[in-house]
Chains A and B, each alone.
Chain A
Amino acid sequence: MTMAFHIFFALFGVGIPLMVSLAELIAIIKKDADFMAMAQRWVFVMTVLFVVGAISGTIVSIVFVTLLPPFMAIVSKVIILPFNLETYAFFLEAIFLGIYAYTWNRFKNQWLHWLTSLPIIIGALASAFFITTVNAFMSTPQGFTDVNGVISNVNQWTAMFNPTTPNETTHSILAYYATTAFVFAAVAAFQFMRRRKMDAEGYRKKMLVFSLVVAMVFSLAVVISGDTSARSIAHNEPEKFATMEGVMDTESDAPLTLGGITTPNGIKDGLVIPGMLSFLVGGSRNVIVTGLSAFDPSTWPELTIHYYFDGMAIIGFIMLGVPLLFFFALWKRRKRWAFSKLAAWAIWITGILSIIGVELGWMLTEEGRQPYTIRGYLLTANAFTNSPVALAYATIFPVLYIILSIVTPWILLAHYNKHQLTP
């Protein structure tokens, strides 16, 4: 729960600095006042979400120590380095956020101001990368020897750069960028949906087109990296792959099953494409895919991850398809279609779906690792504290998160209502 909430704010913490920096870059190159206004207005969102992300980040770090002592006992010995590095990356981001947000008029040369946005992007990117390496380690732990519970021969770099790291970090960070861009596009689309006599229409059209360009580029990258990531899971975590694809028996010419209902005996009533899964995994229908029956049932992940995977994949393709259709309409000189109410609705809904997609990806990663917290090494049942106070954490923090989830958009809306765009 804590991480599911934190990831919601963290994804914007990674994505918004890039959007702001790109907007200012275009403003400088094209001498465009609308893009400059965009960058300046978005900085407020960046600072507020940075602050909320820092609050939930503080909660996460303390919750790890207090609620998961057995887990932290291993992490602190084997893979504490990325946590340490993440703190420095966050420091860098915080310092330059302060510089960037409050020095718009301090530089005669605007390029110098734009340069100060780069460490924010790097800091946010590095923070996400380092933390995701820990999550990757939890899926494919390595870099230590365990003899009767005594950990030795620790190599923090090996633990950090485990087989899951390249794909998980790439796929998740690209998804954060795509989602942020889509949410910005959805905000612009919302104005078109209302279809009132709109102020600053040029600004909003530029915001929509710019956000959709970024969203399209990163959505394409997300789809490609998603394919690579799935193949990596098939290789490194075959039980997770078998569960998310609903493969019960080890076989070649394995079918791809879309949708359906998961049962302990396989997926029922799904759309089956013969041989497709073997082809996707290894480029040939002869490739053997390991089925779930090859594993001890007590180590099977949650069967529901099939839904999460399908949902995430469908959302990924929608995120790619919607901007493609939008730009196809523009290319065919059908501006009326591109900026229609229907298109605005589609973009707005995709913006919401993109956030759901990130959450589904997170749930797929976590539930797909069950019953382990550290795969094959530490069972989730043994990772938690047995203190009765844990119940208080489980009760109080959801309430706090709900409050923050209400207060944050309220503050953003109040700010932008107070500081309206002038035509």
Chain B
Amino acid sequence: MIQYLAALPAIISLFIYAILFSIECGATLFVFAPGLLGAGEDGDRMVRGYVNPAWEATNVFLIFALLWLIAFFPVAVPVWGHALILPFLLFLIIMGIRSVGMLYVFYKEGTNRVIKLLLVVASFAAPMALAGGVLPFFITGITPYGATQLFLAFHLACVAFFATLFISSSFFRYLAARNKLRTTGSLDSLTFGAMIAFIAIIFLSFLAFKNIMPRIASGTQAYLPLIAALAIINLIFAPLPTKRCSGARFVLALALFGATFFAIMLAQLPYVIYPAMTVFSTFTDPASAKIMLEASGIAAIVILPSLGLLYHLVTTKKDPD
């Protein structure tokens, strides 16, 4: 049981990373095409204000998940290293391009349209590379070169693309409403379109899983009613007036994405690499696990209140305290 629990922080960290990374990646689209927000300079300032000061700190969640998996399932590390060398190369190249673009657009405040466009492409390609390149290996257990694996890679890349668009547009619609900015119908249309595409593709996923990956299909079976219910609620809330429900709609978007994400991740357990390695066969020694959990507990006592303080200062009144 402890082996199952040990995998959870890594999955939760990946979930947080997916959300924050999606918002950051989506932000580049709104800087490239401010007309989508339609809130002029105020909208541009809002997006930049969200991304700065330390956008790359988002990657801490990815590194945390990676290190957590390495720490608790060390036996699997050499296999991950050998198998993921190519997908991670692709991901790092895209991240490198993206990082240079982010520095140019958000710190130098550069205006070159070509670089901005390149940044948008790299920003959407990064989650697609991560989902399409890395995830299939964990699920199928071999480097994805066969037809099934290539289909899975393409499919997961599409899921990542629409999830990024859906989460980021929902978030900036919420943020604009919170900042009392007048946005255009383009943002509503974009959010709605991304939501429809995301819902369509996740249900296509489950249909596809049924035929090509029965293990994942049966594992996700129990979560399907919840995902379907959340999809329907999202659809019902979509036409309601923007400002009043933007916060609730963003939470609903996260809930739908979260239910899908956790359904697939939990269906993967107990395998860390299917079918050769499980959380049981790769688990670290009990003494190391105990030290790691204790250190994490102590760290949480410091970090969680600090996050609370950051949230308080960012979201409350701007007058001196």
Contacts and interface: CB of A to CB of B under 8 A. Distances in A.
A22 B197 CA distance: 53
B2 interface: no
Given A83-B67, A103-B313, A387-B85, A73 B53 contact: no
B81 A157 contact: no
A97 B54 contact: yes
Main SS at interface, chain A = helix
B89 to A, nearest CB: 6
Given A55-B95, A101-B53, A155-B287, A76 B74 contact: yes
Interface in B34-90: 52-57, 59-60, 62-64, 66-68, 70-71, 74, 77-82, 84-86, 88-89
Interface stretch (A58-66, A217-225, A336-344): A58-66
Contacts of A393: 85, 89
Contacts of A84: 67-68, 71, 292, 295-296
Q: Range of interface residues on chain A?
A: 35 or more
A180 B62 CA distance: 29
A90 B303 CA distance: 10
Interface in A40-77: 47-48, 50-52, 54-55, 57-59, 61-63, 65-70, 72-73, 76-77
Interface stretch (A247-255, A351-359, A408-416): A408-416
Interface in A365-420: 385, 387, 389-390, 392-393, 396-397, 400, 403-404, 407-408, 410-411, 414-415
A407 B100 contact: yes
Contact of B104 (A69, A102, A154, A407): A407
A94 interface: yes
A166 interface: no
A26 interface: no
Interface in B95-138: 95-96, 99-100, 102-104, 107-108
A99 B314 CA distance: 8
A49 B290 CA distance: 35
Nearest to B287: A154
B61 to A, nearest CB: 9
Interface stretch (B184-192, B232-240, B304-312): B304-312
Contacts of B302: 88, 92
Interface in B239-256: none
A73 B74 contact: yes
B81 A72 contact: yes
9 contacts: A47-B107, A76-B74, A84-B292, A90-B63, A91-B60, A99-B309, A385-B85, A407-B103, A411-B103
Interface of A: 47-48, 50-52, 54-55, 57-59, 61-63, 65-70, 72-73, 76-77, 80-81, 83-85, 87-88, 90-92, 94-99, 101-103, 105-108, 112, 119, 152, 154-157, 385, 387, 389-390, 392-393, 396-397, 400, 403-404, 407-408, 410-411, 414-415
